[in-house]
Amino acid sequence: MQNLLPDWAPNVHPMLVHFPIAIIILAVFLDFVYLIWKKDWLRNSVMTLFAFAVLASLVTYLSGRQAVDSVSVPMNAELTASYHADWALYTLLYFSSYTAIRAFLSWKKIEGKRFITILLFLAGLAGCALLAKTADLGGKLVYKYGVGTQKAK
């Protein structure tokens, strides 16, 4: 796996980290569109996107766990790294549960009810706040503390 990476990449984590961010935001956006424009293909797209988002989040979380022990983390960045890992786990667990509930509601054919669709959209939006906190801490690790910008010796 390491051989497939470009020379500048310390590990696979920075390659993967943008996928869950993009997929989750797109899913929540399409969920919003679905509130206004009731189309079955939109609802199915949202469900599929959330399923991919959970998969991408899981792979990214695992790659992050591997990455944190392979790069040099300055002492003053340890707490940020710790919080980043914790928030990443909360985000993964949140969207895993959210997607499971969504799949259950879809299976029971009650997902399309107006009240439920609004509630699901707001819950997705709340999940974006967890995602934003995780991404903010990850960005801080790289751009404030320089973590991952050089290989651990």
Q: Of these, 48, 118, 119, 143, which contacts other proteins (CB under 8 A)?
A: 118
3-state secondary structure of 151: strand
Residue 110: half-sphere exposure toward Cβ, Cα within 13 Å: 7
Q: Which listed residue (44, 48, 66, 82) binds other proteins by CB under 8 A?
A: 82
Residue 143 CB, shortest distance to other proteins, in Å, is 13
When asked if residue 121 is in the footprint of other proteins (CB under 8 A), the reply is yes
Does 35 bind other proteins (CB under 8 A)? Our answer is yes
Does residue number 110 form part of the binding site for other proteins (CB under 8 A)? no
d(CA 143, CA 8): 16
How would you label 69-81 residue by residue, b for 16+ Cβ within 10 Å and e otherwise?
Answer: eebebeeebeebb
Angle at CA of residue 51, ends 48 and 54, nearest 5°: 150
Alpha helices, DSSP H only, in 12-77?
A: 13-16, 18-36, 40-68
Q: Does 93 bind other proteins (CB under 8 A)?
A: no
Of the residues 32, 52, 90, 94, which one makes contact with other proteins according to CB under 8 A: 32
125 binds other proteins (CB under 8 A): yes
Interface ranges with other proteins (CB under 8 A): 32, 35-36, 68-69, 72, 75-76, 78-83, 85-86, 114, 118, 121-122, 125, 128, 132, 136, 152-153
